[in-house]
Structure 1
Amino acid sequence: MNRSLTIKLGVIALLILSLLIPLLMIDGMIDERQNLRDGVLDEIARSSSFSQQLNGPLIVVPYRKQVRVWKTREKDGARYLETAEQAGQLLFLPEHFELDGKVQTELRARGIYQARLFHADNRISGRFSIPERYGVTKDFADYQFERPFLTLGISDIRGIENALKLQVNQQTVDFAPGTQVGWLGEGVHAPLPMLDPQRQMDLAFGFDLRLQGTGQLQVLPVGKTSKVHLAANWPHPSFIGNYLPATREITDQGFSADWQTSFFSTNLEEALGQCQLSDGCAEFKSRSFGVSFIEPVDQYLKSDRAIKYALLFIALTFAGFFLFEVLKRLAVHPIQYALVGAALALFYLLLLSLSEHLGFALAYLLSASACVLLIGFYVCHVLRSVRHGLGFSASLAALYGLLYGLLSAEDYALLMGSLLLFGLLGMFMVLTRKLDWYGVGFKPGKPLAFDIGEVQ
């Protein structure tokens, strides 16, 4: 191979590697700005309310039980029976649980950063079936039952926006703070009328809950049969948790989703039984589902995606210069390669800084236009031809357009990127198919070892 060609390719490769330094610095800046944004969003949530999860409602029946335990006297070591009192709680899940939620989202800003909050108007209703003798089949006479109450776990009670009132069997009862159940965490409870343990009773309940949160809204399907309906004005829902919606509809104006579960799929009765043995009760709370109100692809993720294509962009631009050198018998100095590469690298810094203020789409348009105009103006003089410079600029603008399509695609980015690379490689091979690489030189005006007209 021509020695000058080998040296030129080596210099180009070294320039590409050198440009990795500013690109890595910009990539680190993207991570830094994203972490700063996440910190601000956490502060906004801390001053309002975090993600929300509803655990319940449950009916709790406190009790005291007389138990007989063996004790040993210290004096003579004799064993004897002593009666002691043991406190506990009986827990009951609803036979039927239903939640109908209508959600509105809004933006809260702090500086240049914005957090998306939601306000959920929920109607929660259902029915409890309390068994005869509270399901106690052994030593019932040893139990003393206290006043039962309905409890609801709410992961961040600061988000409650209305006065809660429980309607139960034609009666209205005010809720009080606290769940009165340690492992359930934060929440509210409402005292119930004393029940007759000697007979089975059905309790129909309902209440309205207006809840504010940030990020996610999740529901625990506590009923033997559970139905949940959520509708919101957010067009980019991410459905999360252990169960996907049975039906859903997503439009530009928002979404609507319905879930339906039963004890056969959730096995919550068994999980609830384990809650008495541990304080955290993570197994019970983990069987939830819901929706996340987040941007599917924000400006930092798109900027991070874009910079992953930076090396490809620089290589393709340098390849374009190289083609002009070998096909048009022009000499491009390595300094000119470096200046164009620096302009391509600064595109990502412009994109990052502008997207924080103008939104990603407009920032991308302005940054790409600035780089195309600057490089186009410079290339017109480097190639000594306005026509060639405009053609090079048009190709660069097309590449920026293709990159934007890659960044906007959530599911097809890999496919589109693979097809783009394959197409560009094919075009390069077609243009150089008759080129005699051993005879390539870089002196202007020097004849090449093929007919240029055949590849144009």
Structure 2
Amino acid sequence: METQEHTPQNNKFGHWLKTSITARMLMVGFLVIILLIPLSYISSLINERAYRQQDVVNEINQKWGNNVLVYGPILKLPYKTYTETKTYNEKTKTYFKETQTHIKYAYVFPEQLNSKVEVNSKTLKRGNFESAVFTTQMDFAGHYIPVDLTAKGIKPKDIMWDKAKIVIKTSNLKGIKSEVQIKLEDKAYNFETNFNQNKNNNLDVLESSFIKDADLFKSKNTDFTFSITFNGSRKVELIPIGKTTTMHMTSNWADPSFMGNYLPNDETKQISKDGFKADWKVLHINRAFSQQHLKSIPNLTQFAFGTKFMVMVDEYQKSERSAKYGFLVIGLTFLVFFLIQTLSKINIHPFQYLMIGLALTMFYTLLVSISEHSNFLKAYLIAGISVIVLITLYSKSILKTFKFPLFIGASLSALYAFIYVIIQLENYALLVGSIGLFLILAIVMYVSRKIDWNNG
């Protein structure tokens, strides 16, 4: 009976793989690189679920109401202009003049615009996803001063005072939940949608009926009030067209993001877990446009200000940030096993390293799937505890002792806790992360000082 003999070269290579520190380091490094493949798939999964959430949020918002932007009230005042043409008559051999009348429009902004905005937010769910929406009541008051267009080359007699209208532009026509009327002095005027006017930056136009009171806007201040109720989402904005514009906003939203060119007054701003209050005041000197415009209403959306009602860091963003530390978790865990193997002379097979690495990657799939049905903290705790217990028990079967598995479990617990703290931080994430990595490096250097690196 013949037996297969192993060559000395094979015995030497196998012995080198088992005993050489360099061989173990190369093997561990190779496995870390291999495990980057499932980590990349997990990142793609998180992005896919995030895109799906955004699609659902957009669908909910489109049905409930989009962002709210109000641009108005604007006085639309028609006026006459004239052109003369000369025509030569062949029979009389003379020229005669013909005057043609053209109707153009001037757009006048109010002197004072005060707004009171109350926003009640809530969440709407679709399957595992939810979106923050709101209903806002916007009350406006202010006044116009007597209109004088002589500086624009328009004579008072050419202004068609009885054909004046009030114009309001908004980004969320579908979200309006009440009839819109404006009161000028003591008389109310209804608004209708103007479908014939071209949209300016996707803003819809509301126009009032003709204001036939010729005394308004001519020789005295004209007070106005109107209210609009919107169903909306994402943000509430106002364009400061008043020579002095103020806005007082209250909401039950606990995490506002103030946006635009103008921030609320710090002295009166209040933010708590029950909501916020904020006040804005914008003067004409703070913005680069005048109170009167000819030809068309200018595009002034760049001057809008208000509040964004969105979750700053949602569950998928936190999961994505957590997955970015996957390489660090796998690398440090393998380093712990490598140091234990090297210091205790316990042999750990590459397949066992691979199983531990796959268990670490499973943390992120558990985190994403559980967070869709619960909050991020609960999902993080369940996924973390599951993976730590699994690896600790598996380490017990490998290392044949209680001391090292308990140390591994404690190390993983500290590492996941450290990553969770970094995820929650925004302004200090880089600082805390850098300090933590420095301490980890110091510990590794201290532990590895007794290893005889010349042995292999």
Same fold (TM over 0.5): yes
Give the one of 388, 406, 430 matched to 1:372.
Answer: 388
SS of structure 2 residue aligned to 1:380? helix
Asked if 1:221 is matched to 2:221, the reply is no
Note the alpha carbon deviations across 1:91-139, whole angstroms, 9 max, x for none.
1111111111111101111121111111111211111113246766555
Asked if 1:249 is matched to 2:270, the reply is yes
Q: What is the CA–CA distance in structure 2 between the aligned matches of 1:25 and 1:404, rounded to whole Å?
A: 22
Asked if 1:426 is matched to 2:442, the reply is yes
Residue in 2 that maps onto 1:202: 221
Asked if 1:261 is matched to 2:277, the reply is no
Q: What is the CA–CA distance in structure 1 between the aligned matches of 2:162 and 2:150, rounded to whole Å?
A: 12
Once the two structures are overlaid, the 10-residue window that deviates more, 137-146 or 93-102, is 137-146
Residue in 1 that maps onto 2:42: 26
Note the alpha carbon deviations across 1:132-191, whole angstroms, 9 max, x for none.
467665555455444212221111111111222322212233333338754553142333
Q: What is the CA–CA distance in structure 2 between the aligned matches of 1:418 and 1:27, rounded to whole Å?
A: 23
Asked if 1:38 is matched to 2:54, the reply is yes
Shift in Å, 1:225: 0.6
Residues 216, 222 of structure 2: 8 Å contact kept: no
Q: What is the CA–CA distance in structure 2 between the aligned matches of 1:180 and 1:410, rounded to whole Å?
A: 48
Asked if 1:86 is matched to 2:102, the reply is yes
Give the one of 345, 366, 371 matched to 1:355.
Answer: 371
Residues 119, 213 of structure 1: 8 Å contact kept: yes
Alignment of 1:169-180 (within 5 A): 169-178=185-194
Asked if 1:110 is matched to 2:126, the reply is yes
- Aligned identity (percent) is 29
Shift in Å, 1:304: 0.8
Q: 1:19 to 1:291 in 2, by over 3 A?
A: same
Asked if 1:313 is matched to 2:301, the reply is no
Alignment of 1:377-392 (within 5 A): 377-392=393-408
Q: 1:289 to 1:72 in 2, by over 3 A?
A: farther
Q: What is the CA–CA distance in structure 1 between the aligned matches of 2:110 and 2:417, rounded to whole Å?
A: 55
Structure 2: runs of 5 or more not aligned: 1-15
Note the alpha carbon deviations across 1:193-217, whole angstroms, 9 max, x for none.
4233894221111122211111111
Q: What is the CA–CA distance in structure 2 between the aligned matches of 1:237 and 1:59, rounded to whole Å?
A: 33
Residues 148, 194 of structure 1: 8 Å contact kept: no
Q: What is the CA–CA distance in structure 1 between the aligned matches of 2:304 and 2:195, rounded to whole Å?
A: 19
Alignment of 1:124-139 (within 5 A): 124-132=140-148, 137-139=153-155
SS of structure 2 residue aligned to 1:231? strand
Residue in 1 that maps onto 2:171: 155
Count matched residues. Answer: 435
Q: What is the CA–CA distance in structure 2 between the aligned matches of 1:433 and 1:70, rounded to whole Å?
A: 103
Q: 1:198 to 1:230 in 2, by over 3 A?
A: closer
Q: 1:260 to 1:141 in 2, by over 3 A?
A: closer
TM-score scaled by length of structure 1: 0.88
SS of structure 1 residue aligned to 2:408? helix
SS of structure 1 residue aligned to 2:311? coil
Shift in Å, 1:412: 1.6
Q: 1:70 to 1:359 in 2, by over 3 A?
A: farther
Residue in 1 that maps onto 2:319: 303
Q: 1:20 to 1:276 in 2, by over 3 A?
A: farther
Residues 129, 203 of structure 1: 8 Å contact kept: yes
Residue in 1 that maps onto 2:252: 233
Q: 1:180 to 1:228 in 2, by over 3 A?
A: farther
Q: What is the CA–CA distance in structure 1 between the aligned matches of 2:318 and 2:94, rounded to whole Å?
A: 77
Once the two structures are overlaid, the 10-residue window that deviates more, 136-145 or 219-228, is 136-145
Residue in 1 that maps onto 2:7: none
Asked if 1:4 is matched to 2:20, the reply is yes
